[in-house]
């Protein structure tokens, strides 16, 4: 196999990796916010459930979660779902990352000075306005470095989709490497991941800078 063909194939895998990456962020970022609300809820049951959820998601391997999410419908309910492989990957990644994001949001929200809430209350803002206009924008600024960290980890974690034999970049690199008995595809994959993360880090830094208009 020529280097060109190899890179072409890896490039295709890269597209799939990018899909997993963006879809996971799309679902897990908002989902994490709701989990963090549950985690901070006054309702003990809701708080307990959220805590348990976070503890399972953080306490077991993501690879195992991928397998469970993919195979559970068949083994538990006898369902033979067609085309479930990709949705299963997105689902598993999203619920896993939501747990991590939830704790990041919680840290950010709990670090907000109570005076901000009090000022908003006296000025007549309702709870939703207070959160959306006053609290959340400041929380986002505070948690950006942690979000960047998670996001970079996610880029690399997408490679775990290989356990479900999904044709993302790492799966392909491994296959080609085995077939060609060569290290080159793996090295090339490493370079791809690095470039991807370089772009991610660069973009996040831009966002952080943009948020630096206030202190």
Under the binding rule (CB under 8 A), the answer on residue 42 touching another protein is no
Under the binding rule (CB under 8 A), the answer on residue 134 touching another protein is yes
Comparing CB distances to another protein, the nearer of 138 and 175 is: 138
Under the binding rule (CB under 8 A), the answer on residue 77 touching another protein is no
Q: Among 12, 27, 67, 138, which residue interacts with another protein (rule: CB under 8 A)?
A: 138
Minimum distance, C-beta of residue 29 to another protein, in the bound complex (Å): 20
- Residue 72's CB is within 10 A of a number of other CB atoms, namely 12
Tokens read off for 189: 């994959």
What DSSP line would sit under 44-100, residue for residue? HHHHHHHHHHHHHHHHS-HHHHHHHHHHHHHHHH----TT-HHHHHHHHHHHHHHHH
CA distance 72 to 77: 7
Under the binding rule (CB under 8 A), the answer on residue 182 touching another protein is no
Q: Name the one range near another protein by CB under 8 A: 75-83, 102-110, 130-138, 143-151.
A: 130-138
Please write down the long-range contacts of 180-184, taking CB distance under 8 Å and 24 or more positions apart. Answer: 180/1, 180/6, 184/3, 184/6
- Kindly list the distances between the CA atom of residue 96 and the CA atoms of 47, 50, 93, in Å, as whole numbers in the listed order: 18, 13, 5
Q: CA angle at residue 74 from 73 to 75, to 5 degrees?
A: 100
Under the binding rule (CB under 8 A), the answer on residue 122 touching another protein is yes
Q: Among 5, 43, 111, 129, which residue interacts with another protein (rule: CB under 8 A)?
A: 129
Q: Among 124, 181, 183, 202, which residue interacts with another protein (rule: CB under 8 A)?
A: 124
Under the binding rule (CB under 8 A), the answer on residue 115 touching another protein is yes
Q: Among 37, 53, 125, 131, which residue interacts with another protein (rule: CB under 8 A)?
A: 125
Minimum distance, C-beta of residue 134 to another protein, in the bound complex (Å): 6
107: nearest Cα among 76, 73, 150: 150
Minimum distance, C-beta of residue 139 to another protein, in the bound complex (Å): 10
C-beta of residue 176 within 8 angstroms of C-beta of residue 1? yes
Interacting residue ranges for another protein, rule: CB under 8 A = 113, 115-116, 118-119, 121-126, 129, 133-134, 137-138, 141, 213-215
């Amino acid at each position: 196999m020529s280097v060109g063909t190899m890179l072409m194939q890896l490039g295709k895998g890269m597209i799939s990796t990018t899909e997993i990456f963006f879809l996971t962020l799309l679902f897990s970022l908002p989902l994490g916010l709701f989990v963090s609300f549950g985690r901070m809820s006054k309702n003990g049951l809701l708080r307990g459930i959220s805590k348990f959820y976070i503890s399972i998601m953080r306490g077991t391997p993501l690879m195992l979660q991928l397998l469970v999410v993919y195979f559970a419908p068949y083994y538990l309910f006898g369902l033979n779902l067609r085309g479930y492989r990709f949705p299963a990957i997105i689902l598993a990644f999203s619920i896993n990352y939501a747990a991590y994001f939830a704790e990041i949001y919680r840290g950010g929200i709990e670090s907000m000075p109570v005076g901000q809430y009090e000022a908003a209350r006296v000025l007549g803002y309702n709870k939703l306005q207070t959160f959306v206009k006053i609290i959340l924008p400041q929380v986002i600024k505070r948690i950006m470095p942690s979000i960047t960290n998670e996001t970079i980890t996610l880029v690399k974690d997408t490679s775990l989709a290989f356990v479900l034999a999904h044709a993302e970049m790492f799966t392909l690199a491994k296959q080609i490497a085995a077939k060609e008995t060569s290290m080159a595809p793996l090295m090339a994959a490493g370079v791809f991941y690095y470039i991807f993360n370089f772009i991610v880090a660069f973009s996040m830094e831009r966002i952080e800078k943009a948020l630096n208009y206030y202190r």
